[in-house]
A and B are shown apart, each in its own frame.
Chain A
Amino acid sequence: MATAQTTALTRFQTLFLGTIGILLFLGIWSGLSLSGLVPKQFLPTPFEILSKFVQLLSTPFAGGTLQEHLLSSVLRFAYGFFLGAAIGIPLGLMIGWYRLLDEIVSPIFDALRFIAPIAWVPFAALWFGTGIGGPILIIFAGAFPPCLINAYRGARFVNRSLIEAAQMLGTSNTRIITEVLLPASTASIVAGLRVSAGLGWQSLIGAELIVASTGVGFMMVQAQLNISTSIVMSAMLAIGLVGLCIDIILRWVEAAVRRRGLA
């Protein structure tokens, strides 16, 4: 059998094999739940989930339709994500440039970044109650580190002579950060934003399971209390789809950045 390194697949082959994978997955799943090997309550069939999904688009559950819950989730995500980027990127560039700041910030950051965003839930609840601040804090905890790390790495790996060229042209430190480090790190930063969005979106659901009163996560908790597994899975499907959309948008941004030669 040919290995991944030796064969290049055509676009059609890739699509074909991918479709087989998905069909096989859905087939085994349907088989398991239809055969009765697994109780239906534990594992609803794909078809049930799809029809529940469609139904949730028009019939409110836990105070809203699926898209209403999604909208409030996406808004929370956007706040946390943009906050993470707005603080993480400049800070990352700065610690990539100022050695002293690097020495001061890095140890704290290296310790904090291994704490899973969800670990902040008690504090999110304590500091913000059920307000919007709580989930934002948790999304921020997920989205911030990749932004900072990638901006930092981008800044550290900028071609030495570009920095020297800027210096001999009399460029101030601030201007070196904005006019040299930032554009030179764009590719790295955008890659960081993608990771950041992924982690932020994942953390959001965790945050909503606990502190929110709307949102897809909240909806899942309510469904879980009713032992309504098909609603839980519909919400999971929605989360996956929205996550995919966010990633597609950022991938598009990444490609646009590459095309403009800002690599």
Chain B
Amino acid sequence: MAVITFEGVRKSFGHNGGGFLALEKIDLTIADKEFVAIVGPSGCGKTTCMRMVAGFEFPTAGTVNVDGHRVTGPGPNRAVVFQQFALFPWKTVSENIALGLRNKGVEKLEREKRVHQAVELMGLEGYEGAFPHQLSGGMQQRVAIARAYVLEPDVLLMDEPFGALDAQTRTTMQEELVRIARRNPRTVLFITHAVEEAVYLADRVVIMTRRPGRIKEVIDIRSVRTAEKWDKYERIEDVMDLESFVHWRTHIWRSLREEKSGQDR
């Protein structure tokens, strides 16, 4: 079980006049095993939302709870996948993946078994002994996802995980993530500014306003996905052609554009 709740969350950075209000009146409940994507214009505080669940930041007012417990710091029940991968450059692929298990005190044999499973899940066979700098960006992010999944966390937090990848790799990773999420469902909070990605991956898409970020709209994609049977399509482009997909993508685009033009004014 892992339910994430934001209750009346406000977050400001800095103080004494030099600060700014990043987030305001954030109320959101993410159900167990639900995949929620947050989209919003840059600087709207969407990453900050994720960081407060991770325990890297704390709300200025209001509470962020996971399973009814207020978040007091980072922990392995809430694994994070970072945009810039954040792999340990001096550790091999296996060592990177194994670190969380070692910290938990998982025995060596069990650890090796689980690392192997994660390696298989992410298609990293043959790269176990490689160092991160020897891998492409896409492969590095696979390692980072394996490192998160191997912990079997209640919550998976992903901060623009595919933002640093090229378009093709990005598409592959999105398809893989859907595959993995189906096999191994988790509560996921996914931060992105790519609208297609959000609609393709998420059960619900949260649209945020420009700074100070507030929740503008929450869109239920899951019911559309089920009704229109998106899951029977293997490839992302087939889903992206569907009328229902196009409808919501365009809806979210417009909503975001309003925010953007408001920002430019």
Q: List A residues at the B interface (Cβ < 8 Å).
A: 159, 161-162, 164-172, 175, 179-180, 183-184, 260-262
Name B13-66 residues within 8 Å CB distance of A.
Answer: 54-56
Q: Number of B interface residues, CB 8 Å?
A: 25
Contact in complex: A161, B82 (CB < 8 Å):
yes
B185 close to chain A: CB less than 8 A: no
| Chain A residues whose CB sits within 8 angstroms of the CB of B89 once the complex forms | 261-262
Contact in complex: B103, A164 (CB < 8 Å):
no
Assembled-state Cα–Cα distance A155/B7 (Å) = 36
B123 close to chain A: CB less than 8 A: no
B248 close to chain A: CB less than 8 A: no
Name B112-168 residues within 8 Å CB distance of A.
Answer: 131, 133, 147, 151
Q: Which A residue sits closest to B99, measured CB to CB?
A: A169
| Chain A residues whose CB sits within 8 angstroms of the CB of B100 once the complex forms | 169-170
Contact in complex: A170, B80 (CB < 8 Å):
no
Contact in complex: B103, A168 (CB < 8 Å):
no
Q: Which B residue sits closest to A183, measured CB to CB?
A: B90
A170 CB contact (under 8 Å) in B56, B75, B90: B75
Contact in complex: B54, A164 (CB < 8 Å):
yes
B214 close to chain A: CB less than 8 A: no
| Chain B residues whose CB sits within 8 angstroms of the CB of A164 once the complex forms | 54, 56, 74, 80, 82, 86
B11 close to chain A: CB less than 8 A: no
Q: List 26 A-B contacts (CB under 8 A).
A: A159-B86, A161-B84, A162-B88, A164-B54, A164-B80, A165-B80, A166-B99, A167-B55, A167-B74, A168-B75, A168-B76, A168-B78, A168-B79, A169-B76, A169-B147, A169-B151, A170-B75, A170-B76, A170-B100, A170-B104, A171-B99, A172-B103, A180-B88, A184-B90, A261-B131, A262-B90
Chain B 68-110 interface mask (CB, 8 Å, partner A; 1/0) = 0000011110111010101111100000000110011000000
Q: Residue among A169, A170, A261 with the most chain B CB within 10 A?
A: A169
B223 vs chain A, min Cβ distance (A) = 32
Given contacts A168-B74, A170-B76, contact A183 B82 (CB under 8 A): no
Contact in complex: B103, A169 (CB < 8 Å):
yes
| Chain B residues whose CB sits within 8 angstroms of the CB of A180 once the complex forms | 88
Assembled-state Cα–Cα distance A164/B159 (Å) = 13
Contact in complex: A261, B103 (CB < 8 Å):
no
Contact in complex: B103, A170 (CB < 8 Å):
yes
Assembled-state Cα–Cα distance A166/B76 (Å) = 10
Assembled-state Cα–Cα distance A75/B56 (Å) = 48
Q: Which B residue sits closest to A172, measured CB to CB?
A: B103
Contact in complex: B80, A168 (CB < 8 Å):
yes
| Chain B residues whose CB sits within 8 angstroms of the CB of A261 once the complex forms | 89-90, 131, 133
Assembled-state Cα–Cα distance A167/B73 (Å) = 9
Beyond A167-B73, A170-B104, list 6 extra A-B contacts (CB 8 Å): A161-B84, A167-B55, A168-B54, A168-B55, A169-B151, A170-B76
B108 vs chain A, min Cβ distance (A) = 17
| Chain A residues whose CB sits within 8 angstroms of the CB of B90 once the complex forms | 183-184, 260-262
Contact in complex: B103, A183 (CB < 8 Å):
no
A42 vs chain B, min Cβ distance (A) = 55
Assembled-state Cα–Cα distance A159/B72 (Å) = 22
| Chain B residues whose CB sits within 8 angstroms of the CB of A260 once the complex forms | 90
A133 vs chain B, min Cβ distance (A) = 37
A174 vs chain B, min Cβ distance (A) = 11
Assembled-state Cα–Cα distance A261/B92 (Å) = 12
| Chain A residues whose CB sits within 8 angstroms of the CB of B87 once the complex forms | 165
| Chain A residues whose CB sits within 8 angstroms of the CB of B76 once the complex forms | 168-170
Assembled-state Cα–Cα distance A73/B35 (Å) = 67
Given contacts A171-B103, A172-B103, A183-B90, contact A165 B133 (CB under 8 A): no
Contact in complex: B88, A161 (CB < 8 Å):
no
B188 vs chain A, min Cβ distance (A) = 15
Assembled-state Cα–Cα distance A133/B162 (Å) = 59
Assembled-state Cα–Cα distance A11/B14 (Å) = 52
Contact in complex: B104, A162 (CB < 8 Å):
no
Q: Residue among A166, A168, A170, A179 with the most chain B CB within 10 A?
A: A168
A93 vs chain B, min Cβ distance (A) = 15
Contact in complex: B86, A165 (CB < 8 Å):
yes
Assembled-state Cα–Cα distance A184/B89 (Å) = 8
Assembled-state Cα–Cα distance A71/B188 (Å) = 64
A149 vs chain B, min Cβ distance (A) = 22
Given contacts A183-B88, A261-B90, A261-B133, contact A165 B103 (CB under 8 A): no
| Chain A residues whose CB sits within 8 angstroms of the CB of B99 once the complex forms | 166, 169, 171, 179
| Chain B residues whose CB sits within 8 angstroms of the CB of A179 once the complex forms | 88, 99
